[in-house]
Structure 1
Amino acid sequence: MTTKPTSWARGAALRGLVALPLVAGLVTAGWLLADRTPEPAPAPAPPLPTAAGAASGPSVLEVSAPVKAQEPGQGASGAGGKTPLQQWADQLAGPLDIPANALIGYANGELALRGEDPSCHLSWVTLAGVGSAASNHGRGGESLLGLSAAQFKKYGASIPGVAKPAADDPSSASVAAGRSLCAGGTDLGAGAGWWKAIASYHPGGEAELFRQRVLGTAQLYATLSLDPARAGTPSVQAARFALGQLGLPYVWGGNGPDAGAAGFDCSGLTKASYDSAGVALPRTADSQFRSIPAVPPSQEPRLGDLVFYGSPATRIHHVGLYLGNGLMINAPTEGQAIQIHTYHSKGDDYAGAGRPA
């Protein structure tokens, strides 16, 4: 099964991300400590205590900015007539699945803000994440970066190197969006500043979902920009599929809308993600843990790896898909949406990672 281009428009009922309040720099979310199999089962046990030393699953998203990405090219045109920036965009457009003109615009946004507001630390991957969430990089017939007329009037009046700035010009829109994100002395290189800026950029009922989508895609772009040859691998295809399910509800035994369910449970999501990439996995978290090669404990998981929770000796009760930078794509429990969490925190019962492909 494949991710449908219209998957973000399946309706508010399926995309209602549970509100995640910021508390002491953390976005908190619940966690159910019971293995969720696709067959009917007795009522789940209540969550275990989360005091130090108690076994528990991950329960927070530690707000963080996407990691550093490949630098945009700079300089004059070479022998072939293309600038280093054009060459850079041509190299990454296919692996990232971003039109080259949009990618050049995002890079110009970063480069312009480096000069105007270097303390903001705006990265092109943040703009690319916003462009993906707002308009699928202009493919959705909407404003590339979701700028309102008022935003563009305020921030896009004068754009370096552009004689007549326009909201439908990728460079104009990217510089204007960057100025909006950096307004008020924001530091986008710090997690708290990044998270707050994205929320302010897109307020409203779907602000939490928007932030998660921006964070997830920006992190994916950052990782792939440093290793574009991985773009066509099953692990990256699985990660793209899982990101496409953000906002769908957790459904016990759920295998997703294509299988007639409103959403997924944890192992249903990981199985469907790898099914979309042509890799077959068993259905439950425990069976997935025992059927795929383990990642050595000394190594951090990499994009597309599965991360497991529970006891390897007895029972694995939960699984998520690793995104990078300490983040996982997670179908947590009833009453919550598929979302991004920090994969490993003090006191949880992280059991290790596995590599399906």
Structure 2
Amino acid sequence: MGSPAAAAAGIAVGLLVLILACTAALAGLLTGASPSAAPSRHALTDIPARMLTLYQQAAPECPGLPWTVLAAIGKVESDHGRHPTMTSSAGAVGPMQFLPATFAAYAHPVPPGGRNPPTPWDPVDAVHAAARLLCANGARNGRNLHRSIWHYNHSDTYVDHVLATARRYSAAEPAPTGAASKAVAFARAQLGTPYRWGGDGPTEGGFDCSGLTKAAYAAAGVHLPRVAQDQYNAGPRVPPGAPLLPGDLVFFGTDPRHITHVGIYTGAGRMLHAPRPGTTVREEPYRLSGSRYQDATRPSAESANRQRAASP
């Protein structure tokens, strides 16, 4: 039997974990989105494709920050860079409307694709700097999202406007949780990474389709086989007639014994995938014209089963 001090310490740690989980859940309720939420139809029509990719790439730099909040700030500040030459009366500049001194505090390290030296006029530099500013002021792990947005512009009205806009950018579908959430977040962070046949990540020049899915679930602590056919065979299958959930793997081929492609379902009828040579990791409808969809699996279900079996 442990000592009373050890028991008290264990209870304190448990309470801390519970508090962190509750605050993260509250952040999701405030924005209507999990960090890896799928974009709504409104988001897809309102946000230029390049900026949508930037918001989704930058958000994972701050664990717990929904990309929808970055996008909402970009909307409020410059209509997603549609007014790139706008300078505010206070001297804020660029697509995320940074004061130069504030930007300098969050400009490093220079993100992939950013300018060197970084500048608040560059969308890549600006969006990543915005994610860091929010993270430093309460967004990390969803501790205090309201406070972090308030630090961007000291106005409660501004915060309310940003959160309302963020809710409109999130698809009204079940948000991924657990392993599925981590896998989707990892895959989203790879948007724009080149396709590379046999590639398992940027250190090898990019991903192929099954390299992306394997790496995404490895980031969530779930081991998948390397090639698409073996991933399909490994299951577990999504039950017949059940709706797809974010994090499910969707498979394509001529028949179940000849699987040639795999992607990660993200909601709203879309998937993240590495399509083919000459392209990059992208998010697009999973029922692509001419695609031969076969079936879906749910690796996150297997992960949850293992966790339940290991529980005392």
TM-score normalized by the length of structure 2: 0.49
Q: Which has the higher contact order (CA 8 A, sep 6+)?
A: 1
TM-score normalized by the length of structure 1: 0.44
